[in-house]
């Protein structure tokens, strides 16, 4: 090897030891060799803040960033490997929301430690014999990287650094029960695992999912350093990127135009809806108090469109168990469906005992010549579905509700915002429907919301293509 080659090799080793941003780039090439790495200043910004933690200048750090911006490779793979290179006696506890993700990140980190370039840069760091498990590994100096999931047990485990990478599943965003489970586990279990409660570091890196997610609660609590990286800058700000200088973002500035171009962001906003996009991409979760659905998202029609071949009339029933005043209404929304577009034709609300409800479903289907009846497969709906399938020729489909009511509506609200759903300009039932929809989740009733969400869930399902038999 020529002297110049030796000099270049030593410069590279020194760069990987000293510069976390360069180390992240080398890590990406190792764990995802087929990918084309596109360096961007936000990697330098993340590396700078993590380096501040390594230097002991920050011990409470929150980084909020959109998905698909290399956050996990940077914080949960490269950073632990880099820290163990400098401090092989360090204990790092890494947390993710799912077992599969937690294990993958651990294996990627272990893969980095096993490369020749890592051993050249950090010759003192080696995996201890018999301590290279899939989710946990230890070094010959007594340190290591240990994994768990939110809600997991941590008996006997402690960390000099605790890394929390996306503690919430995005689909659990509006579930208060599931959000609180994360918060309670953090307070009751995770905090007690710091090896030094005063000086050990906690790093939380996530996409925002709700105003009361873990990042939101901790930021409101105070005492945290916050690196906020929305996909599109909304306010002027300056961001430190270490020895490389400082990036100034003006409103409209894109975080990473190559990975998240404006056209892609517009598509995501259309697909996800304003609320989810604001949280996950802009790190600005909107409070639910203002209502999940805005009335002006609905299209308006003056006359019911004439039916065409292929159109269907679909009815969506949310049924109550009893007819007394203390219980909710039974509600049926009737829809004209044409491809991806749907028109709300009628809303029927009534308090009906079971026999009356069964008769009303049959009669109402006949009035509108409904081709499909959707009924919530819960409570009284289970018996109704069984009876109607056994005694009528109606096409009945049971819809099993999942998650809470707000989550259900939020998951399909993009169909309304995207202009696929129309309501009449005038109708006797329209004012009450509008009131309930726009007040939800803070209104007194939610039966019409449930019927709407159920229909939209069905409407959002992919259309099954007919199979083609080859001769």
Sheet holding 161-165, edge to edge: 127-132, 137-139, 144-149, 91-96, 161-165, 201-206, 60-64, 225-228
Residue 134 confidence class, pLDDT cut points 50, 70, 90: confident
Q: What is the full DSSP assignment across 305-359?
A: PPP-TT-EEEEEEE--S--STTSPPEEEEEEEEETTEEEEEEEEEE---HHHHHH
Tally of CA atoms within 13 A in the half-sphere of 243 that contains its CB: 6
Q: Which of 66-80, 233-247, 264-278 comes out lowest in average pLDDT?
A: 264-278
Mean pLDDT of 449-455: 97
pLDDT for 244-264, tens place per residue? Answer: 999 999 999 999 999 999 999
DSSP run (H or E) holding 237: strand 237-240
Q: How far is CA 69 from CA 28, 102, 187, 239, 314, in A?
A: 12, 18, 28, 17, 41
The pLDDT value given to residue 466: 45
How far apart are alpha carbons 372 and 36 in whole angstroms?
A: 48
The pLDDT value given to residue 183: 94
> In this model, does residue 181 exceed pLDDT 90?
yes
* Cis peptide bond upstream of 252, omega within 30: no
The first and second tokens of residue 465, run together, are: 């293509």
Helix (H, G, I), strand (E, B), or coil: what is residue 147?
A: strand
The pLDDT value given to residue 470: 40
Residue 184 confidence class, pLDDT cut points 50, 70, 90: very high
Instruction: Compute the CA torsion angle 23, 25, 26, 32 (nearest 10 deg).
Output: 140
pLDDT for 438-447, tens place per residue? Answer: 888 877 789 9
pLDDT for 278-332, tens place per residue? Answer: 899 999 887 665 678 999 999 999 999 999 999 999 999 999 765 444 456 899 9
Residue 353 confidence class, pLDDT cut points 50, 70, 90: confident
- What number of residues does the chain have? 471
Share of the chain above pLDDT 70, in %: 93
Share of the chain above pLDDT 90, in %: 70
C-alpha angle 335/336/339, rounded to 5°?
Answer: 120
Which domains are present in the chain? 3-280 (3.40.50.300), 295-460 (3.30.420.240)
Closest CA to 84 of 144, 159, 162: 144
Burial of 324 (0-12, 13-18, 19+ CB in 10 A): exposed
C-alpha angle 258/17/133, rounded to 5°?
Answer: 85
How far apart are alpha carbons 440 and 51 in whole angstroms?
A: 45
pLDDT for 141-178, tens place per residue? Answer: 999 999 999 988 776 778 999 999 999 988 887 788 89
> In this model, does residue 71 exceed pLDDT 70?
yes
Closest CA to 150 of 220, 206, 74: 206
DSSP state of 297: G
Q: Dihedral sign, CA of 76, 78, 81, 83?
A: negative
């Amino acid at each position: 090897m020529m002297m110049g080659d030796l000099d270049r090799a030593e410069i590279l080793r020194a760069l990987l030891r000293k510069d976390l941003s360069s180390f992240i780039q080398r890590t990406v090439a190792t764990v995802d060799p087929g990918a084309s790495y596109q360096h961007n200043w936000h990697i330098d910004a993340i590396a700078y803040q993590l380096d501040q933690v390594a230097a002991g200048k920050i011990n409470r750090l929150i980084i909020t960033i959109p998905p698909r911006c290399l956050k996990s490779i940077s914080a949960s793979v490269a950073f632990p490997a880099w820290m163990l290179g400098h401090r092989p006696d360090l204990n790092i506890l890494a947390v993710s929301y799912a077992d599969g993700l937690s294990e993958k990140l651990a294996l990627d980190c272990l893969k980095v430690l096993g490369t020749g370039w890592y051993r050249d840069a950090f010759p003192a760091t080696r995996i201890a014999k018999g301590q290279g498990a899939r989710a946990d590994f230890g070094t010959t100096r007594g340190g290591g990287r240990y994994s768990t999931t939110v809600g997991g047990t941590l008996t006997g485990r402690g960390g000099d650094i605790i890394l929390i990478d996306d503690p919430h599943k995005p689909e659990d965003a509006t579930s208060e029960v599931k959000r609180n489970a994360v918060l309670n586990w953090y307070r009751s279990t995770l905090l007690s695992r710091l090896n030094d409660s005063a000086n050990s570091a906690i790093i939380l890196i996530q996409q925002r999912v709700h105003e009361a997610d873990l990042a939101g609660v901790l930021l409101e609590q105070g005492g945290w350093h916050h690196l906020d990286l929305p996909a599109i800058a909304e306010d002027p700000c300056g961001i430190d990127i270490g020895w490389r200088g400082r990036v100034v973002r003006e409103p409209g500035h894109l975080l990473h135009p190559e990975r998240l171009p404006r056209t892609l962001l517009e598509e995501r906003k259309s697909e996800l809806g304003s609320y989810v996009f604001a949280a996950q991409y802009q790190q600005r979760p909107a409070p639910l108090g203002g209502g999940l659905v805005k009335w002006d998202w609905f299209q308006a029609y003056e006359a019911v469109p004439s039916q065409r071949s292929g159109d269907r009339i679909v009815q969506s029933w949310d049924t109550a168990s009893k007819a007394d005043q203390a219980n909710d209404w039974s509600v049926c929304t009737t829809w004209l469906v044409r491809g991806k577009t749907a028109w709300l034709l009628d809303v029927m609300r009534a308090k009906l005992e079971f026999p009356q409800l069964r008769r009303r479903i049959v009669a109402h289907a006949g009035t509108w010549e409904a081709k499909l009846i959707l009924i919530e497969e819960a409570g009284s709906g289970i018996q109704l579905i069984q009876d109607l399938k056994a005694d009528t020729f109606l096409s009945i489909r049971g819809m099993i509700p999942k998650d809470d009511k707000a989550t259900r509506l939020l998951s399909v609200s993009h169909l309304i915002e995207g202009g696929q759903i129309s309501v009449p300009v005038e109708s006797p039932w329209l004012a009450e429907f509008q009131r309930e929809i726009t007040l939800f989740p803070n209104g007194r009733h939610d039966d019409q919301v449930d019927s709407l969400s159920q229909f939209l869930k069905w409407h959002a399902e992919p259309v099954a293509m007919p199979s083609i038999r080859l001769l």
